[in-house]
Amino acid sequence: MTGAHVLTTNPAGPASATDGVADPRLDTTHGPILYLEDITVSFDGFRALNQLTLYINDGELRCIIGPNGAGKTTMMDVITGKTRPDRGTAFFGQIIDLLELDEPAIAQAGIGRKFQKPSVFEELSVFENLELAMRTDKRTWPTLFAKLNGQQRDDIEDVLHTIGLPEQRRQRAGSLSHGQKQWLEIGMLLMQRPKLLLVDEPVAGMTHQETERTAELLLSLAGKHSVVVVEHDMEFVRSIARKVTVLHEGSVLTEGSMDEVQQDQRVIEVYLGA
């Protein structure tokens, strides 16, 4: 690790927590921020991913759909270092080889992952949860127990507004609704300043209104961040989708606009057969 990892601010200029402050080696000048090529993952001979090739552009919001068992979560496991592929390559930008990094190093390089189950600290307030998330960011210095400086307070305030919980800042996280907890967890991820956010089934269990607000939140993150969303709720996907990738049996079946993929005969067959 280089000394750049403990900088509090982006060497390129003043940073806000909602901007990405990534590994200085992150090079997206060719467009993509994520390159997955020919990735195969086998579990006891069964190919959960089968020569998967997928590119995500810097700043884009990509939706990934596909029937149960298509390999969507396994793909996220590969990107975050939880699962090692049998073969293939995975790069974060041009230079950073994800297959050479372990899970903490990948998180530190600027890839954040939101799991389905919220894991907020129920006894702490909303604000304290965000503060804690910031302090576990190795790039923030000094860390635990130091008084927050103005910039850090501003960063937390920015995230509180981004996730729509400024009025709940003093509320105990355990008392939030399911949807609010999910937004708080997205906020905790944002405190780590990821460049790429992976979100697996964000609206499962949410009310209709919470689902709509989640759509707005994810849309607001695109541009500053690249966001990959896996979701089964097609109405939700339609409301946020630009480009949709359909996974099936561990490979990309097709990619395109929501209308294009929904009219694709192969996609219809895969879903009817699922």
Measure the CA–CA gap between 73 and 201, rounded to whole angstroms. Answer: 10
The token duo for 10 is 């982006």
CB of 68 to Mg ion, least distance (A): 8
Instruction: Rank residues 72 and 195 by Cβ distance to Mg ion and give the closer one.
Output: 72
In the complex with Mg ion, which residue's Cβ is closer, 2 or 68?
68
Nearest to 202 by CA among 192, 224, 217, 188: 217
β-bridge mates for residue 60, sequence order: none
Residue, CB closest to Mg ion? 73
Minimum distance from CB of 72 to Mg ion (Å)?
Answer: 5
Q: Which of 73, 140, 180, 226 binds Mg ion (CB under 5 A)?
A: 73
Distance (Å, whole) CA 250 – CA 259: 22
- Using rule CB under 5 A, residue 226 touches Mg ion: no
Least separation in angstroms between residue 251's CB and Mg ion is 16
Instruction: Choose among Mg ion, ligand ATP, none what residue 74 binds, the Cβ cut-off being 5 to 8 Å by kind.
Output: ligand ATP
- Report d(CA 70, CA 67) in Å as an integer: 6
Q: Choose the one of Mg ion, ligand ATP, none that binds residue 43, judging by a C-beta under 5 to 8 angstroms depending on kind.
A: ligand ATP
Q: Amino acid identity of 177?
A: S
Burial 87-117 (b: 16+ CB within 10 A, else e): ebebbbbeebebeebeeebbbbbbbbbbeee
Between CA 231 and CA 62 the distance in angstroms is 11
Please, which residue, 44 or 167, has the CB nearer to ligand ATP? 44
Helix residue ranges per DSSP H, the chain? 72-79, 103-109, 126-135, 150-162, 178-190, 208-221, 234-240, 258-263, 265-273
Residues in contact with ligand ATP, shown as a per-residue x/- string from 50 to 89 under the rule CB under 6 A = ----------------x-xxxxxxx---------------
Specify the residue, 42 or 262, whose C-beta has the smaller distance to ligand ATP: 42
- Minimum CB distance to ligand ATP, residue 76 (Å): 8
Interacting residues with ligand ATP (CB under 6 A)? 43, 48, 66, 68-74
Chain contacts with Mg ion (rule: CB under 5 A): 72-73
